[in-house]
């Protein structure tokens, strides 16, 4: 994780740049956690995905997922800009007695995209896309999916692609986001899923 070391953002810093994970900075909620808007030390706005503590994601599993995400470099894929993986010892009460527990803090930080999700724009009739914008969005999505499916050494299947997981930058260019349900597929693995995943 040599290239990852410089991208680590301390949990305390994440709290500070998101107003201590305030409702005013909340961008959205999903199956795997909440996303907050923050501004890093360089002054750039970022989206901080704070993963739920109930997830079965230890340090090594998180590191593997981070290493998968950091490799993704494409103009139509949301760019990972940082991460947090810290464990904190806390005292909690169990059966009336104080015990030591581990509070896990896991977060992924992505570039912030000013125009939000495609879903927001699909249902705003007064701000409909012209055909050139529609073509640009469709082509960008196709290019992003082609990259994930055909141009990586270990292809990635998103498995939950929907309008709210397609974000638009300030030029209305689409970027595929939220790889929470992605699965790395090696050549020996089948590409057919037999379990229900994603959004109903």
In the listed set 76, 97, 112, which residue is the last one of a domain according to the structure? 112
Q: Answer yes or no: is pLDDT of 183 > 70.
A: no
Domain shared by 15 and 106, yes or no: yes
Same domain, 193 and 148: yes
- Place 2 in a pLDDT band, splitting at 50, 70 and 90: very low
Indicate whether 157 pLDDT > 80: yes
Tokens at 129, concatenated: 């896309």
Q: How high is the pLDDT of residue 200?
A: 43
In this prediction, residue 137 carries a pLDDT of 95
- Whether 98 and 135 share a structural domain: no
Contacting residues for 176 by C-beta, under 8 A, at least 6 apart: 76, 77, 78, 141, 144, 145, 148, 158, 161, 165, 166
Residue 160 known to be catalytic: yes
Sorted by sequence, the CB contacts under 8 Å of residue 79 that are 6+ apart come out as 72, 73, 110, 111, 175
Percent of the chain having pLDDT more than 70?
78
Which domain-ending residue is among 92, 112, 132?
A: 112
Cα 110 to chain centroid distance, Å, stands at 7
The residue written with tokens 């030591």 in the block is 100
Q: pTM of the predicted model, to two decimals?
A: 0.80
For residues 105 and 167, membership in a common domain is answered with no
| pLDDT higher than 60, residue 141 | yes
Q: Domain range holding 126?
A: 115-200
Do 164 and 78 touch, CB atoms closer than 8 A?
no
Asked whether residue 103 falls in the same domain as residue 17, the answer is yes
The contacts of residue 95 (CB under 8 Å, 6+ apart) are none
- CATH number of the CATH domain containing 53: 3.30.200.20
Q: How far is CA 99 from CA 56, 89, 94, 170, in A?
A: 21, 10, 7, 49
Both 101 and 127 in a single domain?
no
Q: In this predicted model, what pLDDT tens digit does every residue of 26-61 receive, in sequence order?
A: 998 877 789 999 998 888 999 999 988 765 556 666
Please check whether residues 64 and 119 belong to one and the same domain: no
Cα–Cα distance, 81 to 146 (Å, whole number): 22
pLDDT for 198 beyond 90: no
62: confidence class by pLDDT, cuts 50, 70, 90: confident
Please pick, among 2, 160, 169, 178, the residue that the annotation labels catalytic. Answer: 160
**Shared-domain flag, residues 101 and 133:** no
The stretch 171-186 carries a mean pLDDT of 73
* 47 and 61 assigned to the same domain: yes
Out of 112, 133, 156, a domain closes at: 112
Percentage of the chain exceeding pLDDT 90: 42
Residues 70 and 107 in one domain: yes
Q: How many domains in the chain?
A: 2
Residue 175, pLDDT above cutoff 90: yes
Q: Quote the pLDDT of residue 156.
A: 85
Is residue 63 domain-shared with residue 12, that is, in the same domain? yes
We report the CATH number of the domain holding residue 193 as 1.10.510.10
Residues 57 and 29 in one domain: yes
Average model confidence (pLDDT) for the chain? 82
Tokens of 116: 């939000």
């Amino acid at each position: 994780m040599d290239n990852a070391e410089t991208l680590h953002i301390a949990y305390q810093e994440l709290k500070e740049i998101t107003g201590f994970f305030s409702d005013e900075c909340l961008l959205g909620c999903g199956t795997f956690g909440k996303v907050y808007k923050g501004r890093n030390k360089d002054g750039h706005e970022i989206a901080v995905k704070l993963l739920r503590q109930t997830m079965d994601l230890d340090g090594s599993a998180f590191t593997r997922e981070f290493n998968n995400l950091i490799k993704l470099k494409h103009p139509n894929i949301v760019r990972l800009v940082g991460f947090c993986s810290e464990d904190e010892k806390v005292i909690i009460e169990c059966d009336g007695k104080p015990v030591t527990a581990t509070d896990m803090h896991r977060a992924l930080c992505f570039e912030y995209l000013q125009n939000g999700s495609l879903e927001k724009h699909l249902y705003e009739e007064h701000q409909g896309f012209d055909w050139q914008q529609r073509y640009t969005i469709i082509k960008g999505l196709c290019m992003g999916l082609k990259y994930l499916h055909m141009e990586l050494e270990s292809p990635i299947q998103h498995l939950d692609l929907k309008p709210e997981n397609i974000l638009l930058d300030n030029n209305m260019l689409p970027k595929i986001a939220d790889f929470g349900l992605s699965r790395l597929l090696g050549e020996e693995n089948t590409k057919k899923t037999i379990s229900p995943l994603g959004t109903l």
